[in-house]
Amino acid sequence: MVKENKPRGSFAIVTVVLPGPDKKRTPAPYMFRVTYRNPDPHEAGCVMTWNVTGGREEYQIAAERAGDGHLNWHCTCPDAVYNGENRRAYCCKHIHGLQALMETIGSPVRRERAAA
C-alpha cells in the first residue's frame, strides 16, 4: 500500500475577534490553531482539534463526528464545562466563533489554508 498523501506539517492559525475575558467583554483577538486533523473527516470520531489562546487561559476545542454524521463540539473553557453539564448542546463563544468562521470559509476539511 502506497501512501502518497502525507499530512502537512504546518496547520493554519486564524485570529477571530470575540468578546474578551474581562467584565466588559471588550472585543479581543483569539488565536485558533489546528492541532489535529483526521485524514478521513467522514469517519466517526475526532475530526479536528484546535488550541485557543487569547483568553485567560489556553483552551482546547474538539469536533467529534457522531455515528449519525452529526458534529459534536467540545471546549475546555469554564463556560463550556459549566453550561455543558446542564445543556448538552451548549456552545461557548469559542465554539461559536469557530463555527462562524467555518461558515465563512467553507468546509475546513477541504480547505487547508483558510488563513492568509
- Residues that bind Zn ion in the complex, under the rule CB under 5 A: 75, 77, 80, 92, 94
Q: Which is nearer to Zn ion, 96 or 105 (CB)?
A: 96
Q: How far is the CB of 20 from Zn ion (least distance, A)?
A: 13
Q: Which is nearer to Zn ion, 47 or 75 (CB)?
A: 75
Q: How far is the CB of 75 from Zn ion (least distance, A)?
A: 3
Q: How far is the CB of 80 from Zn ion (least distance, A)?
A: 4
CB atoms within 10 A of CB 18: 20
The three-state DSSP-derived secondary structure of 62-87 is EEEECCCCCEEEEECCHHHHHHHHHC
One-letter amino acid for residue 66 of the chain: A
Q: Which is nearer to Zn ion, 37 or 94 (CB)?
A: 94
